[in-house]
Amino acid sequence: MPPLPLQFVTSAGNVRDLPDSPAEVAVVGRSNVGKSSLINAVSGRNDLARVSKTPGRTRLLNCFEVPGGATVVDCPGYGYAEASKSTRAALAKMTERYLLEREQLAMLLVLVDGEIGPTRLDLDILDWVRENELPHTIVATKHDKVKSSHRPRRVKEVAAACRLDPGDIVWVSAAKGTGIERLRGLLAMWLAAPA
């Protein structure tokens, strides 16, 4: 599967400002999980996701499109809920609204760091995604950072922590290219399907 020809379109502060799109895949993850590296890897470019790290854009929905107009939206990294003294992990309110309102959302990729496994924050976000019945796929990043002798066990551990079967999780390494072709194929399929 060749690289997905993603082009940056816009950074939006709310759903209204996003372009029309026949189908959309959104990506969420804690900062440092490898989200930018992954977007670069699927697009075959080294600099594409740099825009998402530009000061002023880190809290926006950064939108990339493929020819035909389907879109990939890089959502802000998440942290602990700001309101009250909650220790529950929370997406920014704007991201939550976007995910709940966007009719074109065909798939949400929830990234977890494959080396360290899902954190409490990741699992809170996953609970929220499940409660709201959003279509989602878990992508475990940094496969190359897991020692090869530990991999079979690690794959089972990450799946168990997420309450999934090992085969339901897409493992990738942006650094080594592992799983990237498969993910490109999945993205092409989701982006082709009207939600």
Q: Which residues bind ligand GDP (CB under 6 A)?
A: 29, 31-37, 141-142, 144-145, 173-175
For ligand GDP, the closer CB: 96 or 115: 115
Task: Give the C-alpha separation, 121 to 80, whole Å.
Answer: 8
CA distances from 62 to 6, 16, 55, 88, 191 (A): 12, 13, 12, 25, 16
**Cβ proximity of 63 and 17 under 8 Å:** no
For ligand GDP, the closer CB: 8 or 104: 8
Query: Residue 185 CB, nearest distance to ligand GDP (Å)?
Result: 18
For ligand GDP, the closer CB: 70 or 174: 174
| Phi/psi of residue 127, nearest 5 degrees | -60, -45
CA angle 171, 177, 181 (to 5 degrees): 75
Query: Residue 43 CB, nearest distance to ligand GDP (Å)?
Result: 13
